[in-house]
Amino acid sequence: MADQSEVAYCGLFCGDCVIRKGRLAALSLDLLDRMRTPEFQKLAEGLPELKPELFDALREYPTCCCVLEAMSHLDCEKVCKAGGGSAACPIRGCCQAKGAEGCWSCGQFETCETLSWLNPVHQDAHRRNIRMIREQGMDEFLKGEKHW
């Protein structure tokens, strides 16, 4: 069974998070380091000229480096309740101020604007998880499929 300590204040299950499950940050940084070598830079500049049908996308080499740089920051070793996650998360502060274990303890979660902070990434997954926790209890929620 999944561990309750992996449930964030917002109802998301951190154990399913692609950032925590994978090694995206480390892999991105490793690839970025390899791509920033003078040898690869020469390849990125020259190959589109030699064989454009295969390597024309290498013209986007600088953009790719920017993307990898951003991905190198996708690193989260701890759940928010243990001090991990985003320092900018307003949900953690709200729950801590209320002394709540999570948003499922609050009757206003359905209309809560603070929870809307997660919508750009998670749409309504966190609210669906909160509903499941409220309806089934934490133990049953942990046994079932969680939304992310």
pLDDT digits (tens, 9 = 90+) for 63-100: 999 999 999 999 888 888 888 888 889 999 999 999 99
Q: Which of 135, 22, 9, 133 is nearest to 76 (CA)?
A: 22
Percent of the chain whose pLDDT exceeds 90? 78
pTM value is 0.82
Longest dimension (CA), the chain: 63
| pLDDT tens by residue, 20-48 | 776 899 999 999 999 999 999 999 999 99
